[in-house]
């Protein structure tokens, strides 16, 4: 019987590692680019993610499960450890006049969905979330992982994923409402601010399960 990809990775099969890279590198790059806002830093994050995957291959448990949650769990740890370096790198490029602006998640939604002021407010509000809430939001909304896969990626219970995503939604809704009021852009329906942004995000990746 042919060995599973997990078993081949655990055994140090470099072809299996190449297959893993081919299958997930583009998605990891998009994830890192949205988080860091810099192409060079995102490329570095991809390299570090798969170097870490190779280093940690022996810790993979046996089985036939897909490796996507494992890869994005590693990518999330890489982003935690490199965010400050990426900001320094971006600032250096800006000082040199070489920085090319990159659209972030909400700006992409504005361009594709044309939801206007509300999604712009979501973009402004995202940095105010706790890191743990941003990570769940990114994995569930940006990457499109379901609750179980996000839980596996982060090493937390499914219920924690649900609660963190719920808090992120509520916090964003509150911040967006406040932002729109301050900018004199009233929401169409009180208490529903931010819902169009979440619906738009889900339409890009499919309904979160």
- Each residue of 55-99: pLDDT tens digit? 999 988 877 788 999 999 999 999 988 766 555 655 665 665 544
Selection from 205, 200, 203, 206 nearest residue 109 by Cα? 200
Query: Mean pLDDT over all residues of the chain?
Result: 76
CA distance 121 to 175: 8
Q: What is the pLDDT of residues 139-161, one digit of tens each?
A: 988 888 999 999 999 999 999 99
Other Cβ atoms closer than 10 A to 32: 26
- Is the pLDDT score of 28 beyond 70? yes
In this prediction, residue 179 has a pLDDT band, given cuts at 50, 70 and 90, of confident
Query: H or E segment at 44?
Result: helix 39-55
Q: Cβ distance 169 to 194 under 8 Å?
A: yes
Helices (H), 56-157: 68-96, 105-113, 117-125, 131-137, 147-154
Selection from 77, 92, 67, 17 nearest residue 45 by Cα? 77
In this prediction, residue 45 has a pLDDT band, given cuts at 50, 70 and 90, of very high
Q: How many residues does the chain have?
A: 209
């Amino acid at each position: 019987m042919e060995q599973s990809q997990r078993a081949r990775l655990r055994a140090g099969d470099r072809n299996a590692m190449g297959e893993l890279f081919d299958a997930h590198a583009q998605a990891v790059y998009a994830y890192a680019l949205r988080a860091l806002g810099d192409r060079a830093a995102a490329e570095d994050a991809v390299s570090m993610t798969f170097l870490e995957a190779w280093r940690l291959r022996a810790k993979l448990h046996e089985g036939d499960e897909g490796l996507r949650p494992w890869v994005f769990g590693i990518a999330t740890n890489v982003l935690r450890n490199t965010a400050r370096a990426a900001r320094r790198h971006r600032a250096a490029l800006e000082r040199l006049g070489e920085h090319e602006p990159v659209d972030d998640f909400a700006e992409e939604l504005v361009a594709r969905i044309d939801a206007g002021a509300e999604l712009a407010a979501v973009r402004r509000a995202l940095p105010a979330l706790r890191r743990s809430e941003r990570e769940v939001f990114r994995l569930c909304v940006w990457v499109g992982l379901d609750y179980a896969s996000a839980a596996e990626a982060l090493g937390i219970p499914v219920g924690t994923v649900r609660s963190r995503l719920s808090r992120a939604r509520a916090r964003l809704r509150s911040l967006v409402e406040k932002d729109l009021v301050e900018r004199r852009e009233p929401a169409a329906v009180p208490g529903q601010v931010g819902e169009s942004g979440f619906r738009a995000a889900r339409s890009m990746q499919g309904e979160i399960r």
